[in-house]
Structure 1
Amino acid sequence: MNDIKRIKHLIILLSILAGLIFWILDALIDRLMFYDKPFLEILSGNANEMAFRLLTCLFFLGFGLFAARTFCKQKKLEIELRDEITQYKITEDALRSSEDKYRSLVESTNDSIYLVDKDLRYLYINKNHITRMGFKGEEYLGRSYNEFHLPEEIKWFTKNVNEIFSTGHSVQFEHKSFRDGRYFFQTLSPVKDSDGKIMAVTVISKDINDLKEMEHKLHALSNTDELTGLLNRRGFFSMSGQPLKLANRKKTGVFLLFVDLDGLKSINDNFGHTAGDSALIEISLLLKKSFRDSDVIARIGGDEFVVFPVETAKENISTIIDRFQERIDRHNEKTTLAYKLSASVGVAYYDPEKPSSLDELLLQADSNMYEQKSHDLKF
């Protein structure tokens, strides 16, 4: 800016000098014409000449001022334009760098990331999702989500995208893929323009299948008896709620069987705890063979087992128990072990017209089982 000011002042100075030079040259011309007059008299001249020369000097001065102002404006505009271009390039470089970093981040992540518009057309998909979907090249761009997914998936995805366009809020949830049954944690977020209008939806899908499998395994472990592989007490209460609700809905009575392995303490004392564990495993296998796969069979205590729900008429429950006892007898006939298996069975009936809790059923069946230990089954 200091250089511009100096040039401005130089232009004004030159215009003043130009005016003075014109004045002197005009006077010199008159000297040649009127050589007999003194030069100072010619330099000042008469009133008309004086006015003309002053006006001419003012013209040069005005022209100089105009030229200086125009030059300054032009240079200022050039500087501002250059600064704007420089700033634009800086911003453009920064934006490009930011985009490159973002794209690098998106492409290097293990998550599936894609962008769809309101019509579910793909606007962008990262490499990880391309690989998972089996896309080739960029054949997916501009094509609809609907072309690559099952109807159930399309219905679910359309509902969520429409909700985001309607509310403008992000949503997160666990999702089990209809395509391959894998579990994902998905985040769907709106993409807005400078006016705040939603233009698209970004989907970030994190594969949590291994985590869910571990969760299922931990859940199974927490509900499973380690020795027999049957449900434990926690598992029994967790799994028996639904059959109880079904019995209420169908207005159908069902039985709960309470089975106690007789003489477990004696087996442990006489043959060791390994033999006792084997006895528990054998009785568990016999229970599995005697009842349906859909029945809840559990070991709820050291030598205590339950089966629920046993669906049969009241007059047939004794037959079912007898068949189980016969299976135990056949096992004892074939075994080469030094001890024999024996089990006492107690029964409780669940009447949907007179509902009772699982705890109440267990107490009733347990009481009947102890009664059966010394007498025949009474029901």
Structure 2
Amino acid sequence: MGFFGTHFKEKLDLILITWIAILFASINISIHFFERIYFFIYHNFSLELARYISNFVFLYLAGLLLITFRRWRIAEKKKKELENIIQSISPDVLIVVDRQRNIVKCNKMIEQMFSYTADEVLHKKVDMLYLDNEAYSEHLEAIYRIVGEKGFHIETATGKKKNGDTLYVEIITGSLGRYGGAVMLFRDITERKKYEEKLQALSITDELTGLYNRRGFMALMEQQIKLSERTKRGILLIYVDVNNLKFINDTFGHIEGDNALRDVAAILSNSLRKAEIIARIGGDEFAVAAVETPEENADILIDRIYNNFTIHNSNTEKKYSLSVTTGTAYFNPESPLPIEELLDIADRNMYARKKELS
């Protein structure tokens, strides 16, 4: 049972066989037709010219069949490559829906995550996979608007398995553009969600900013590292240092310094996905763990952070500007390092960058 479903493959095979049979019949009829022309030409013109015309028509039709067969083989190969790519997206579930939110394609991981086979969900509403089945029009319109503006939308929801069990899922919805419909990536975050709920009982939150504190960050990072080692997906660590906080405290007072830290926390939160772990780990130091993020995407994330600080400074009426310096480290599950060592690497890279800019 592949990505395209057994019924689709059976119909495709039947259509292909029928089309080839029609083409062969057409060639046969054409040959008989041109045989008559051949005899007519033979009696009225030269035998050599008649043979030339007959052979030319036969070769043309045979060439047409060969080209068509070759294009079909190329299409089949591309379809197989696409299927292999889709199936390699593990352990995530990939679903393609039409404009009416009916499932038209899905990969095999749906069976592992939701206990449904592909044939059981094809041509049914994707809402069957939600417990909080809130397909209310306002929510859907908001999703479609964001997808139209940004090209994608990310949210979390409570999923529903075939047997009624629940799980937490992160859903990334992307537009299919002019083809209509959408592609949806379902990621099981149940383990992380349960761990986050367990941590709520602990003192893991920074009271000033509302972000995780160092203790919460370290605990969540331990969990993410275990998950990273299983999924073989790395973690990008960004160390963030607030520039000139001492100047703000000394000049405008500690209350304004606290407001500055709150603003920094808000800017970081608005610059990153909800799935990222953001913490205040020291007086003017913050840390970000971008989960399942390739190392080469570091510059993209950092540029976004810097740009949002620039936007904040241009819109504020305060007498000081906020800025940060960043340094990065990368957790590679193939050659793992302890969290403290990763923080130390990111911290040293941050100070090296600060020295370059001074």
* Superposition TM-score tier, normalisation by shorter sequence: 0.3 to 0.5
Q: TM-score, normalised by structure 1?
A: 0.41
Flag the structure with larger Rg: 1
Q: Under a length normalisation based on structure 2, what TM-score does the superposition of the two structures give?
A: 0.43
